[in-house]
């Protein structure tokens, strides 16, 4: 019998996130040059940096190909970024194999059908409050926050607090 979501957080060492609809609200804005622009949450960025600083693995797998998104994630310190990933489970399995990561230690947050198989592969499946029904149905945890509005921070903070890794360091640089 599987333990409760909170009890399962102790085993998490790796966070896997989708971008559009998870790290963003899923909206796409067009700038004056016709470039697609996304809005990301600074509180999510802070939590991502905290996780990386505490030694957690952070992986981002997205179907999008926006280089500005990659730059933002790299600025936070994330190195495992997969853009244009249309078969997310294959990318995830390859990453785990290459980096010797067990799915039993991974939490995945996704919001839509392309995330479904990869979410089910990981130990814990989570999603934002506004994820599609098929994703909410299979999720071990549905964040009370919508995509781009702090759902990433919420799951990272939960894991890190349960494990005693969440630090209240006012010297941490902004995200």
Look at residue 32 in the predicted model and tell me its pLDDT. Answer: 84
- pLDDT class for 34, splitting at 50, 70, 90? confident
Look at residue 126 in the predicted model and tell me its pLDDT. Answer: 98
Burial 7-27 (b: 16+ CB within 10 A, else e): ebbebbbbbbbbbbbbbbbbe
Write the secondary structure of 156-173 as one string of H (helix), E (strand) and C (coil). Answer: HHHHHHHCCCCCCCCCCC
* Global pTM value: 0.93
pLDDT tens by residue, 6-19: 999 999 999 999 99
pLDDT tens by residue, 51-84: 999 999 999 999 999 889 999 999 999 999 999 9
- pLDDT class for 21, splitting at 50, 70, 90? very high
Distance CA 116, CA 92 (A): 12
| Residue pair 106/132 in contact by the 8 Å Cβ criterion | no
Q: For residue 120, what is the enclosing H or E element?
A: helix 116-121
Q: For residue 127, what is the enclosing H or E element?
A: strand 124-127
Residue 175 has pLDDT above 70, yes or no: no
Q: Say which residue the tokens 């600074």 belong to.
A: 42
pLDDT tens by residue, 91-147: 999 999 999 999 999 999 999 999 999 999 999 999 999 999 999 999 999 999 999
Distance CA 36, CA 33 (A): 9
Distance CA 8, CA 2 (A): 8
Look at residue 113 in the predicted model and tell me its pLDDT. Answer: 97
What tokens were used for 105? 């230690």
Write the secondary structure of 34-78 as one string of H (helix), E (strand) and C (coil). Answer: CCEECCECHHHHHHHHHHHHCCCEEEEECCCCCHHHHHHHHHHCC
| 10 DSSP 8-state letter | G
> What is the sign, positive or negative, of the torsion defined by CA atoms of 93, 98, 91, 12?
positive
């Amino acid at each position: 019998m599987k333990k409760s979501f909170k009890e399962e957080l102790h085993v998490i060492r790796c966070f896997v996130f989708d971008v559009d609809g998870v790290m963003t609200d899923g909206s796409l804005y067009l700038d004056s040059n016709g470039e697609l622009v996304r809005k990301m949450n600074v509180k999510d960025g802070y939590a991502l940096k905290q996780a990386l600083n505490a030694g957690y693995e952070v992986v981002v797998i997205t179907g999008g190909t926006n280089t500005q998104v990659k730059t933002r994630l790299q600025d936070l310190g994330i190195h495992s970024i997969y853009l244009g990933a249309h078969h997310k489970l294959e990318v995830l399995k390859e990453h785990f194999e290459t980096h010797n990561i067990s799915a039993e230690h991974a939490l995945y947050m996704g919001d839509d059908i392309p995330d479904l198989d990869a979410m089910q592969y990981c130990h814990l499946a989570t999603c934002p409050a506004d994820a599609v029904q098929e994703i909410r149905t299979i999720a071990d945890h549905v964040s009370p926050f919508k995509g781009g509005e702090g759902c990433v921070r919420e799951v990272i903070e939960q894991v890190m607090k349960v494990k005693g890794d969440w630090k209240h360091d006012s010297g941490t640089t902004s995200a």
